[in-house]
Structure 1
Amino acid sequence: MHTPTPADGFAWVTGASSGIGEYVALALAAEGWTVLASARRVDALQDVAARSRGPGRIIPLPLDVTDLQGVRAAVAGALATHGPMALAILNAGTYKPDGARGLDAGDFARTVNINLMGTVNCLDALLPGMIGRGTGHIVIVSSVAGYRGLPRSHSYGATKAALINMAESLKMDVERYGLKTQLVCPGFIKTPLTDKNDFPMPFLMPVEKAAARLVAALKGDGFQITFPRRFTWGLLFLRRLPDALYFLLARRTLR
């Protein structure tokens, strides 16, 4: 698969107002990309854009990924104004701890709408253009929480597992059109979301370092990008264990 460069068009990053998305947008601009940065908070996007030091640039593209018609309109306007989309990093997401006691269907649906359907809405808007051109690079950001069930992660883990499955399916489908697909599964990254956690987070990685790892891996041919490896490779091992052994180890080590 061809790996697009800034000469091929612009990059689009969702969830770009904070966390990994924010620093990925800054890193891409530093490599010469014109980056359209999306999130709901216009002021935060403007702050990210102001901190860009080039040689590329960051252009705020405010939107709510749960609004399909709004996403379609925003992408159509971006294509008309800035030319072809070469790279899309679909990173928008949220996390709210949940459990069996007090499970709320409304909160669950909100997580699904942002993490899963928000990504689907973005794919709906961008795929026709990339397929029509016969080139493009799609990056779906999931999480190691999608590998196996984890405590306090009913809705979040379910959406991240769905994204992993969808990215695998998408890769086999769109590569016939010349599109490159990659999946990102981070472990614990220090962001505003993880700052709310009240439990131990092994090998917590600074967000700047995580973004640098992600952007560097975009140039490679590997499908799955995961970091920090000391933690994520351990979870990959657990993913392959028989159920009985996994639950035994999980009960002993996870809270």
Structure 2
Amino acid sequence: MNILITGATSGIGEQVARDYAAAGHQVWVCGRNQEKLAQLAALGDVHPLQFDVTDTKQCQQHLGDLQGLDLVILSAGVCEYIDDAQHFEVELVERVFQANFFGMVNCAQSLLPNLSKGSKLVFIDSMSRLLPFTRAQAYGASKAATFYFAKSLGVDLKPKGIEVVTVSPGFVKTPMTDANDFAMPMRVTVAQASAALRSQLAKGRRTIYFPRVFGWILRFMHKLPTAMQLWLAQRMKD
């Protein structure tokens, strides 16, 4: 397959890129870290693209002419928490949305005109969108927006034969989650995350959650009445 992955210089994106390259696929890896991109380029049929997904012009410049992609995985993202809900900075929310939501929108805009029937467009969101977690106002909202945008896009792209997939990970051990100062139940390695993602994509799943048990738990909680969700979120905070 011809595969493109954003956010390929760290975390899930990097591991997925390495695993697909090891399996003999042709992979385009996107990111800002030139050193990491060079390391990935040494793996085989891997093509580095250095640019910032939050810059619309850079996305168009690097992605607009790509042809024949079978699989696109939009994985680039950041995480910042709001520590004081009464005195937060709107700039923090804007930064998170620029990377997590508009970064994916920018890439999708540049890539979609050249995607054809049979292509898959994958958006990485997060299970954080399922509950109102403490301090996660910016991060969770950006992931909820990504999920809705992707699912709505999938409705309009289905007649064209382009499949849109959402992926909602739980806690995965990455440099981003290593900075967290709270318990992360059922956290998995990037190798486990990559295996789950690639396996579920191969099976044709359009909505993917991993780890599986954690996904079941949070989706059950998501179906509870709002008052119960808020009570649980408060208990977890306390």
**TM-score of the aligned structures, taking structure 1 as reference length:** 0.89
Find the counterpart in structure 2 of residue 236 from structure 1.
219
- Aligned with 1:173 (options 142, 153, 156): 156
For residues 146-161 of structure 1, what are the structure 2 equivalents within 5 Å? 146-161=129-144
Superposition misfits of 4+ residues, deviation over 4 angstroms:
none
Q: Is the 8 A contact 1:144 1:187 kept in 2?
A: yes
Are 1:58 and 2:43 an aligned pair? no
- The secondary structure found in structure 2 opposite 1:205 is coil
**CA-to-aligned-CA distance 1:150-180 (integer Å, 9 cap, x gap):** 1111100000000111111111111110111
Q: Distance in 2 between matches of 1:27 and 1:86?
A: 16
For residues 185-224 of structure 1, what are the structure 2 equivalents within 5 Å? 185-224=168-207
Q: Is the 8 A contact 2:134 2:233 kept in 1?
A: no
**CA-to-aligned-CA distance 1:212-235 (integer Å, 9 cap, x gap):** 111111112221111111212111
Are 1:31 and 2:51 an aligned pair? no
- Aligned with 1:88 (options 47, 59, 72): 72
**1:192 Cα shift?**
0.2
- The secondary structure found in structure 2 opposite 1:218 is helix
Letter in 1 for 2:68: P
* Corresponding pairs, count: 237
Q: Distance in 2 between matches of 1:154 and 1:251?
A: 14
Q: Distance in 2 between matches of 1:102 and 1:197?
A: 21
Q: Distance in 2 between matches of 1:223 and 1:186?
A: 14
**CA-to-aligned-CA distance 1:59-107 (integer Å, 9 cap, x gap):** 1111100111110110134x2xxx4122100000000111404411111
For residues 34-45 of structure 1, what are the structure 2 equivalents within 5 Å? 34-45=26-37
Find the counterpart in structure 2 of residue 246 from structure 1.
229
Letter in 2 for 1:126: L
- Aligned with 2:14 (options 11, 22, 33): 22
Are 1:13 and 2:1 an aligned pair? no
**CA-to-aligned-CA distance 1:3-34 (integer Å, 9 cap, x gap):** xxx1xxx2110000010000000111122211
**TM-score of the aligned structures, taking structure 2 as reference length:** 0.95
- The secondary structure found in structure 1 opposite 2:61 is helix
For residues 119-138 of structure 1, what are the structure 2 equivalents within 5 Å? 119-130=104-115, 133-138=116-121
- State, as a whole percentage, how many aligned pairs show the same letter: 37
* Structure 2 spans left out of the alignment, 5+ residues: none
* Structure 1 spans left out of the alignment, 5+ residues: 1-5
Q: Is the 8 A contact 2:132 2:229 kept in 1?
A: no
Find the counterpart in structure 1 of residue 145 from structure 2.
162
